[in-house]
Amino acid sequence: MRALVTGITGQDGSYLAEFLLDKGYEVYGMVRRSSVENFNRIEHIRDKLKFVQADLLDQLSIIDAIKESRPDEIYNLGAMSFVPTSWKQPVLTGEFTGLGVTRMLEAARHMNKNVKFYQASSSEMFGKVREVPQNENTPFYPRSPYGVAKVYGHYMTVNYRESYDMFACSGILFNHESPRRGLEFVTKKVTYGAAKIKLGLADSLCLGNLDAKRDWGYAKDYIEAMWLMLKQDTPEDYVISTGETHSVKEWVEASFKCLDLDWEKYVKIDKSFIRPVDVDLLVGDSSKAEKKLGWKTKVNFNGLVKIMVEYDYNYLKKQM
Ligand code: NAP
Ligand code: G4F
């Protein structure tokens, strides 16, 4: 089996590449050119991977990437994925995260209509939630240019499935985290920040809205769900979540507690981290995935906090 993964240098792409290599796949990563190589998350497996240079903004390069890799499966994980940046660069976000999906689908349709296609949809599409918990039938109400772009990509995937009979699935994944999470996302910012404080490398941590609630799972668990979706007889969309919700404040408390620190002594609120509007509450119902894919989350909230805090603490200690 051959797979083409966009976003292979990202958190999910790196775990997915490991997972597919373990399953015996030939794995092609679609990467964009950069003046400084950005392969940190895949350095340990880079010799086993093949790379094709292309950009989600550039149709012809995507066609070439598919021509060269001749994939049986395409995982479209590439996107501008940081919500605050989507207000600063709404047009570019629409290009990468929205239209980029159509470029991938168009290239796939023209090159090999039988290829199986996975689209990285997001719980951010539920935004100002219409029901609790959110499932595959919950109406969308995105609250950021990122969320709007994801809704577009989601429905294009559904449309290509219905219009061209393609095997195209959308995984509506709720927030998933890991030691490989980008430093600007709140979970990693907190675990890394708390570890720095513990080691005497910082004396405070500035955050925004502590009341927002998220359904946080472990990225490594979620990768398997993507693969399982493409292994079914029929293409469908699935919510992937833990079913538990916690506030940012609870994440902060648990992370500092892991290091025997009282968070209230160190955390400051900085208004610049507060968004024009926020998604107040996310909690997913992934009973469809449980029933049809046999998928279930393995790591709970406290387990995830522990994995990330321990990793960051040990990593920073080694650098000292
Ligand atoms: P991430 O760590 O931010 O990785 C994003 C990847 O997209 C990077 O490899 C990046 O490449 C690539 N990319 C960005 N713009 C590109 C372009 N123009 N052309 C080609 N590649 C481009 O994101 P992640 O957390 O792994 O998430 C993976 C996907 O799932 C994203 O689509 C995200 O929106 C979606 N998602 C994530 C979550 C979550 O909680 N993590 C939840 C739901 C959905 P560079 O290294 O070159 O920047
Ligand atoms: O960690 P976040 O930046 O993740 P967010 O916005 O939920 O988006 C992530 O999950 C989505 C799935 O629902 C993905 F589609 C998306 O690509 C990304 O992976 O923020 C989480 C919450 C927000 O409510 C934010 O306002 O944390 C709050 N927060 C409070 N202080 C902060 C901060 N967020 C960040 N990034 N930085 C802060 O200082």
**Which of the following CATH numbers is that of domain 2-176+217-240: 3.40.50.720, 3.40.1350.10, 3.10.20.600, 3.10.620.30?**
3.40.50.720
CATH architecture of 183-214+245-282+300-319: Alpha-Beta Complex (3.90)
CA–CA gap between residue 168 and residue 171 (Å, rounded): 10
Q: Which of 110-114, 131-135, 238-242 has the lowest mean pLDDT?
A: 110-114
pLDDT tens for 247-275 read 999 999 999 999 999 999 999 999 999 99
SS3 (DSSP) at 118: strand
| Confidence label for 112 from pLDDT (cuts 50, 70 and 90) | very high
The pLDDT > 90 percentage for the chain reads 100
Is position 177 annotated as part of the catalytic site? no
In terms of C-beta density within 10 A (0-12 exposed, 13-18 middle, 19 or more buried), how is residue 275 classed? middle
In the chain, what are the domain boundaries? 2-176+217-240, 183-214+245-282+300-319
Q: Which pTM does this prediction carry?
A: 0.98
Cis amide bond preceding 133, omega within 30: yes
pLDDT per position as a tens digit, 21-72: 999 999 999 999 999 999 999 999 999 999 999 999 999 999 999 999 999 9
- Bridge partner list, 172: 121, 239
| Ligand 1 atom 34 nearest Cα | 81
CB of 212 closer than 6 angstroms to any ligand 2 atom: yes
What's the pLDDT score for residue 14? 98
| Catalytic entry in 61, 81, 122, 170 | 122
